[in-house]
Every structure is written in C-alpha cells, then in structure tokens.
C-alpha cells in the first residue's frame, strides 16, 4: 500500500517582533535590581545546555511530567474527545505532543505556535513525516497576545490548548493571568486547556533542581553572559560571576541570579555598567503553585478545573481545564 503524499507545510506568519536584545539588555541592567530576560538564554548553546538540564537527576520536572503523561494519557484523551484541534503554545520538543497525538481519537489538526518561524517550520516538517494524515498549521506569533487561529480543513469539535513543561511558571502572576486569558480566547467556547504546572514543595528539593551537582545549570546561566559577549561586543569575565538559585518562599518562586564576585565594570554595546561585589542580576523566576491557587488563577480567565493528575510524590501536575 502506498503512503499518502506529504502535504506541504505552509507557515502562517504574523511577523511578531523578536525584540531588540541591545535595548532590552541595557534597560534591564540599568534597573535598581539588574535583570536579564530568560528569553535570551536560548541561543544554540543555551538550547543545548537546557536539553542537558532536563536529563539531570536533580531536575525532576521533565521526567515527572512525561511519567504523568504516559500513565494517564488514556484518561486525558477521553476527556479531550474526538476531532479536537490541538493548539500548542510555545511548540518545543516534539516528545510530549507525540504522546498526545498518538492517543487522541482522530485529531482534526495540529497548530503549533511559536515566535521563531524557522524553528517552527523544521519541527512541523518533522512531525508531518510521521503523521501524514494530520493537517499541520504552524503559526509564527507572540502567543502572549491574542492572534487569529487558522481554520482546519476538517471541522474540529473543539480547540485544545496544550502548554506542557511548567512554562507557565516563568511568567509573573499578572503575566500568567493575562496569558490564561489569551488561551481562553484561542480555545473558544467549549474549548479546553491541558497544561503542566509545577507544584510547591520543600525548598531543598527545589534549590537542588536548579543548583545541580554537575554544574550544568550554572553553565546555562553563565552562557547568557557569553552570548552578550558574542552578540553585543560585551566584555563580561565569566569567572567573576557566580550562578545562584534560591527559593523565595514569600513569592513562591525559584529565582536564578548571576552574582558579581567583586567590584567591576563591564562594557556592553558601547556603554559601561558597574557592578558592586555581591550585586546580582536576576535572570529567571520560576513560580510554583498550590493546586487550589492555580485553579483560582485559571478561573479568572473563565476556565473550570476538570481533572488534575500528579505523580505519587505530588511534585508536578498535569491539569485539564475547560471553558463553559
């Protein structure tokens, strides 16, 4: 029997602004609490290091979420129902979406959404080879803002927004609230959301996950400065900054910092930035949630919690929510 011909993958490009790294970095380093956006972590080397982090023994989120998906995917698929259009926000590794697609009943379409069009097309083409009967409609957009979804050739029974990986934790509470409202718009009436949410737990487990013994997370954090050296003609001395990750219990979040180990000045994009010994740059926050806390946040966007799955130790959750 001949294989069906591969359909061409056409990128729907809304031309989202990629951001001006020079302007954002200089503005962030001029703040009283110096900051660098975590979105600048992911150059080629940063992406390689993060992939390595997900396999570290201390870093529980990835393997725990995968375990939950494998264990409960049948129940998830039943709740989602047949002929759903799957809208993945921030389409990344195809491992998790494949688990979903392999178990859903006749998905109507897969709509991956990401700000990087080139990455998106590559991932969509790879999936198209393994799912030749599935319509794949990649959308290049900033998913933190509402955007027009493409209409699949086959009418979908509902839209399901898929947001695995605990990425929701990288947004502040206000940003997460706004993102959930965008998800509600894209899911539409009767739509659903399947999302990974990291849970609050003891600080020792959390801090260990972000301060691994092999030092990979430290290398990942410091690579941000190496990127600025390469791309903005900066002269950060990586040996004069140290990685530190601490759990801020009051704010319920892990905070990653780069700490200056001495008084020093750094030239970056033609400007001088001074650092005092012990001064730190905040590079990432990763919020953790109680189950009820997240349910209340999602309810503000119109979502109702239908089902929560966790690992036996209740370290991580995958949650299914619906709109009326």
Tens digit of each residue's pLDDT (9 = 90 or more) over 121-169: 989 999 999 999 999 999 999 999 999 999 999 999 999 999 999 999 9
Q: How many domains is the chain partitioned into structurally?
A: 1
Average pLDDT over residues 89-114: 92
- For the domain that residue 231 is a member of, what is the CATH number? 3.40.50.150
Q: Is 296 helix (H, G, I), strand (E, B) or coil?
A: helix
Helices (H), 32-89: 44-53, 61-80
Instruction: Please state, in angstroms and rounded to a whole number, the distance separating the CA atoms of residues 247 and 210.
Output: 10
What distance in Å separates the CA atoms of residue 188 and residue 146, rounded to the nearest whole number?
Answer: 12
257-267 pLDDT tens trace: 999 999 999 99
Q: Is the pLDDT of residue 1 over 60?
A: no
pLDDT for 18 = 75
Reported as a pLDDT band with limits 50, 70 and 90, residue 93 is low
Residue 118 has pLDDT above 90, yes or no: no
Work out whether strand 264-268 and strand 271-275 pair parallel, antiparallel, or are unpaired: antiparallel
Looking at residue 262, its pLDDT comes to 98
187-238 pLDDT tens trace: 999 999 999 999 999 999 999 999 999 999 999 999 999 999 999 999 999 9
Q: Is the pLDDT of residue 2 over 80?
A: no
pLDDT band, residue 92 (cuts 50/70/90): low
CB within 8 Å of 35: residues ≥ 6 apart: 28, 29, 281, 282, 283
The C-alpha atoms of residue 125 and residue 110 are separated, in whole angstroms, by 12
In the predicted structure, residue 4 carries a pLDDT above the cut 80: no
Average pLDDT over residues 62-90: 97
Q: What is the pLDDT of residue 88?
A: 97
Between CA 323 and CA 46 the distance in angstroms is 36
Instruction: Quote the pLDDT of residue 210.
Output: 97
Distance CA 279, CA 281 (A): 7
CA distance 57 to 73: 24
Residue 197, pLDDT score: 98
Q: Which residues make beta-bridge pairs with 284?
A: 256
| Residue span of the structural domain in which 97 resides | 1-324
The answer for 297, left when phi > 0, alpha when psi is -120 to 50, beta otherwise, is alpha
Question: ∠156-69-145 over CA atoms, to 5°?
Answer: 50
């Amino acid at each position: 029997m001949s294989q069906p011909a591969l359909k061409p993958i056409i990128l729907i490009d809304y031309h989202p602004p990629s951001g001006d790294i020079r302007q954002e970095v200089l503005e962030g380093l001029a703040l009283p609490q110096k900051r660098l956006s975590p979105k600048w972590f992911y150059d080629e080397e940063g992406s390689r290091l993060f992939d390595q982090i997900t396999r570290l023994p201390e870093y529980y989120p990835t393997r725990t979420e995968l375990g939950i998906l494998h264990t409960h995917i049948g129940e998830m698929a039943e709740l989602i129902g047949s002929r759903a259009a799957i809208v993945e926000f921030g389409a990344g590794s195809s491992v998790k979406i494949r688990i979903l697609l392999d178990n859903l009943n006749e998905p109507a379409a897969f709509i991956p959404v990401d700000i990087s069009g080139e990455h998106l097309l590559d991932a969509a083409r790879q999936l198209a080879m393994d799912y030749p009967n599935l319509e794949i409609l990649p959308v290049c957009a900033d998913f933190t803002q509402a955007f027009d979804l493409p209409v699949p050739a086959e009418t979908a029974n509902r839209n399901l927004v898929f947001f695995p990986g605990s990425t929701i934790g990288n947004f502040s509470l206000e940003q997460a609230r706004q993102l959930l409202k965008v998800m509600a718009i894209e899911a539409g009436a009767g739509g659903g959301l399947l999302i990974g949410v990291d849970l609050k737990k003891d600080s020792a487990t959390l801090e260990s996950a972000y301060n691994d013994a092999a030092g990979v997370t430290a290398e990942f954090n410091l690579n941000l400065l190496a990127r600025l050296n390469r791309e903005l003609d900066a002269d950060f001395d990586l040996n004069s900054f140290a990685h530190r990750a601490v759990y801020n219990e009051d704010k319920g979040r892990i905070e990653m910092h780069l700490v200056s180990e001495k008084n020093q000045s750094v030239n970056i994009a033609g400007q001088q930035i001074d650092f005092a010994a012990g001064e730190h740059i905040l590079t990432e926050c990763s919020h953790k949630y109680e189950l009820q806390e997240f349910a209340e946040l999602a309810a503000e966007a119109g979502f109702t919690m239908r089902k929560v799955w966790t690992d036996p130790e209740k370290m991580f959750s995958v949650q299914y929510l619906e709109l009326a």
